[in-house]
Amino acid sequence: MNGNYFEYVQSVEQAFYFLEDIQFLDGTSINENDWVIAYKDAIVLGARQWNGAYSDIPVMGTDEQELTAEFAVNGDVPTFMVLRENGEIVTLEGDIPPWSNNSLFVVANLKEALLIPDEYMLSQGYPNPFNPSTKVDFSLPVDSEMSIRIYDLQGREVVALVNGTIKAGYHSVIWNASSYSSGMYFVKMLALSETDGVPSKYLKTQKLMLVK
């Protein structure tokens, strides 16, 4: 899995953000196997593999193309995320300047955002329909034993995307289905936790459509 799966439309309106360093909650720093992706809402505005301090991340803006109609406009603050080499996607926080066309911005330091949701959640995959990869967001209000698995229409397990203890927070996982055939699939999240001795269980299923 690499950032090439985060394709974006080139625009004549664009800016570049030069990122000095990125720190994660586990105490590690970004490395050259990681990718940085720029978003506006769920729309990919740019992506770049990390190549050391002051890596430049392109961020596309709205121009006269229909495909760029919802891209960045002056004053928007892009969201930066990192696709780590283990497949995890983390959201970053820091002092990010608002976007403006033909601008160059230097961002001293970004770090993984510590965000704790109020409830469990499994989102729809994005994009959906998709080819060949889709991103699935999920959230955990407490540390949980959990799994996220993909099933086909016959109910057979295709792949386990997550399986183990995951810390509370907002998370994302990518399914690269390039080796699977077109059709309907299901992503199922099962989370088990215990608060003050009281066990809880969360189970949610969403549909995914792979179109080749």
Q: What is the pLDDT of residues 73-103, one digit of tens each?
A: 999 999 999 999 888 888 999 999 999 999 9
Nearest-angstrom CA–CA distance, 13 and 68: 10
pTM: 0.61
Give kind and range of the element (H or E) at residue 81.
strand 79-83
- What does the domain layout of the chain look like in residue ranges? 3-112, 121-210
Instruction: Indicate the length of the chain as a whole number.
Output: 212
Q: What is the pLDDT of residues 54-67, one digit of tens each?
A: 999 999 999 989 99
Nearest-angstrom CA–CA distance, 23 and 204: 32
DSSP 97: P
SS3 176: strand
Of the candidate CATH numbers 3.40.190.10, 3.20.190.10, 2.60.40.10, 1.10.10.10, the domain formed by 3-112 belongs to 2.60.40.10
What's the CATH fold of domain 121-210? Immunoglobulin-like (2.60.40)
